[in-house]
Structure 1
Amino acid sequence: MQQLNNLSARIAVYQESIKAAVDRVIASGWLVLGPEVKRFEQQFAAYLGARHCVGVANGTEAIELALKALGIDSGDRVATVANAGAYTTTALLAIGAEPHYIDVDIDTHVTTLADVRVAIEAGVKAVVVTHLYGLAIPEIAEIAALCAARNVPLIEDCAQAHGAAVGGKRVGSFGDISSFSFYPTKNLGALGDGGAVVTNKDELADKVLALRQYGWASKYTVKVAGGRNSRLDEMQAAILSEFLPGLDEANGRRREIAAYYSSQIKHAGIALPKEGAFNYVAHLYVVRTAHRDALREHLRTLNIASDVHYPIPDYRQPVFGERFSGVQLANTDRLAQEILTLPCYPEMTDAEVSGVVAAVNGWRA
């Protein structure tokens, strides 16, 4: 069976360094918010070209704490896309904020400057943009400039785009604050949950540092409202420090696989991603077809895994009932019906990649 992602293969590559990292933490006796977390925070901030990185428990809480650090509160409307798995929506609901859904480009699957401008004109309190599938939003610099000019805070959701860049600048350093996930399948993934908030602003970093640990100003002294227990543990931080030096090489392999797919998949019924050479780190390789379910079944019969990222726009989730029944985003709705993710991970062999291409090209729509 050709898997969508093979974590065992990655663990095998790093087996010795993982063991050394775990042994180092166990020997230290320091398991939470110790030297390994500080070390990784410094390394990841330097990698991104940012001033601050604050490790937290997971990527969704990273978005939540970033929102809180910006002062987003109950009832505030925040712009967000609806095609990225409802993680930002989950964070907004956790603090009582109101999602203001914006559409995405049909080819890139990410939001545009024009859509953000319309949201700002509608009076949103903040904007969250998602660098989806590993593609850095092509207009992120212009979006950041617009938000700054209009005094509307910008949060970058970088959970799927570790290392992606636009104009030589890595995502996570354009907006006021950004969030990352280190879920195991991410380009930079831990061996469990983990996340981070990144910012160039000292005051926002200080707020997140307090918010991730009960709102403490000092031990047992609660000063910042809205705090929670959201801490990156020492073992995951130590493992991430081992994986980080290999991130660019792994991203390069992902791009090689994606480029091969894009050059070799030749099927009139399938639309391929529109990615750039450097702003795409191929977290997922997502194609489009009007007959998505038929293609997925065809691949299944050939023992090739696929998935849909993501099948239900946020505003159509059952939890909302009729709450967003008036929302109509043409591109988001269409993409949810047509997208399909093919296997793409650094440890894939050339033979496996070629096998996926042959299977897709052999489909009779």
Structure 2
Amino acid sequence: LKNPPAPPGAVPAQRIRFEVAERRAVLDRVDSALATGHLTQGPQVARFEELARTWTGTGTAAVASGSAALEIALRVIGVAGRTVLVPVNTFFATAAAAVRAGADVRFVDIELAGLGMDPDALRDALDRHPDTAAVLPVHIGGIVAPSLDEVVALCRERSVPVVEDAAHAFGATLDGRPAGGFGRFGAFSFFPTKVAVSGEGGLLSAALPDDLEQVRRWRDHGKSAQGSTLHDRPGSNWRLSELHAAVGTVDLERFEHTLALRRALGVRYDALLADVPGLRPHALPAGAGGNYYKYLAYVDPEGPLDRALLKKRLRERHGVSLAGEVYDHLLCDHPYFGGGTDDGTSASASPGGPYERGRWFARHHIALPLYPSLTEAEQVRVVDALRDELS
């Protein structure tokens, strides 16, 4: 057969698992919220924030989503009518949050070692846009890039606040320093695909107590104080519910184990992939303690298969689904941003076009299945399938 049916027991791209005792713990906490009628901004949210502080190293405030976290941080800073710089390779929500906060978004190329914002490209962008109100570096794939130190230093020289988009990076570190602790704010997501989950939910970390107080006002419709009926800013319903926090607290209580499992799986992939032709794993930079939100690798551009065909054959012939890319389209190519570039020129599809490094990464990387319940046998199956298709 040209395309034989996939063998049984397919390896999915993502798998979320709560064991029986963990599900019962969630249900008990939901029951407590229902029994008391305290369904929002109650003890479960407070516990969620407390548990998260272990991994951020700073104070925290829970919000409804990672997108809400970004927008609130930018509204606290006050970016309306000014420029916000974001990496050209990131999820649409990074830029959309700045747009919703009233900013004019401009893009910056990435560097390929840590997949962070390129400091030289950032310096050029800051020179071109002296009205820059904030810079949003992104920790792609759960890697805090060593280049972040230079990015933060450049912004400090110009008194430009840094908001870390750490949606991928909960638990990740650089030289022992946690993601979310480098800038004025760190924004995290607890969406079901992330390394820690609450169903729907987000978090802001910040070192300054006043910044966190501002976040709490913005998330609750802009009330001038907790419990007040007066409003001094156009906030919104950006609260995390007690029901989502019940899931999140249980997941954070097991997160140390989760992170250890993800890292062990990453190390095993490193060993298993050593002799696979046409595939190069992305090596973690020195000092980066990744959380393996994604296990990234690069397909040889001169190899027998392009990425789309490789994914199709892995799924149909081997029952192996690759995870989604981070990301396959640059922001400048999205229709909302006009499919053009920062300087108004056309976003060329050629490797030598604008944002050359971001474009190369977007085209050539794949993400292998990696989650705590992935077994060694499943990892071997993934690697055998890759070897078979790439040989």
Give the structure-1-normalised TM-score: 0.93
* Aligned twin of 2:210: 203
Offset of residue 334 of structure 1: 1.7
Q: Which runs of 4+ in 1 moved over 4 A?
A: none
Offset of residue 12 of structure 1: 5.0
Offset of residue 11 of structure 1: 5.3
Provide the rounded CA distance (Å) in 1 between the counterparts of 2:124 and 2:255: 36
Work out whether 1:83 is the aligned partner of 2:89. Answer: yes
* Aligned twin of 2:321: 305
SS at match of 1:251: helix
Structure of larger gyration radius: 2
Contact 1:162 1:187 (8 Å CA) reproduced = yes
Work out whether 1:94 is the aligned partner of 2:106. Answer: no
Mapping of residues 189-200 of structure 1, within 5 Å: 189-190=197-198, 192-200=199-207
Provide the rounded CA distance (Å) in 2 between the counterparts of 1:308 and 1:23: 38
Offset of residue 335 of structure 1: 1.7
Offset of residue 271 of structure 1: 2.2
* Aligned twin of 1:282: 292
Offset of residue 136 of structure 1: 1.3
Work out whether 1:30 is the aligned partner of 2:38. Answer: yes
Offset of residue 132 of structure 1: 1.0
Provide the rounded CA distance (Å) in 2 between the counterparts of 1:285 and 1:322: 29
Which stretch shifts more, 277-286 or 87-96? 277-286
Backbone CA RMSD of aligned residues: 1.9
Q: Which of 221, 232, 240 matches 1:223?
A: 232
Pair 1:39–1:270, CA change in 2 (3 A): same
Provide the rounded CA distance (Å) in 2 between the counterparts of 1:61 and 1:67: 10
Q: What residue ranges of structure 2 are gaps of 5+ in the alignment?
A: 1-9, 348-353
Amino acid across the alignment from 1:304:
V
Provide the rounded CA distance (Å) in 1 between the counterparts of 2:284 and 2:340: 35
Provide the rounded CA distance (Å) in 1 between the counterparts of 2:73 and 2:166: 12
SS at match of 1:99: strand
Amino acid across the alignment from 2:319:
N
Provide the rounded CA distance (Å) in 1 between the counterparts of 2:263 and 2:246: 27
String of CA shifts for 1:94-141, please: whole Å, max 9, x gaps: 123111211112243222333333333332221101111111122323
SS at match of 2:137: strand
Provide the rounded CA distance (Å) in 1 between the counterparts of 2:127 and 2:257: 41
Contact 1:136 1:166 (8 Å CA) reproduced = yes
Provide the rounded CA distance (Å) in 1 between the counterparts of 2:165 and 2:137: 6
Pair 1:268–1:110, CA change in 2 (3 A): farther
* Aligned twin of 1:142: 150
Amino acid across the alignment from 1:105:
E
Work out whether 1:120 is the aligned partner of 2:126. Answer: yes
SS at match of 1:110: coil
Work out whether 1:316 is the aligned partner of 2:333. Answer: yes
* Aligned twin of 2:221: 214
Q: Which of 229, 237, 243 matches 2:245?
A: 237
Pair 1:86–1:109, CA change in 2 (3 A): same
Contact 2:115 2:145 (8 Å CA) reproduced = no
Q: Which of 132, 139, 145 matches 2:140?
A: 132
Contact 2:221 2:231 (8 Å CA) reproduced = yes
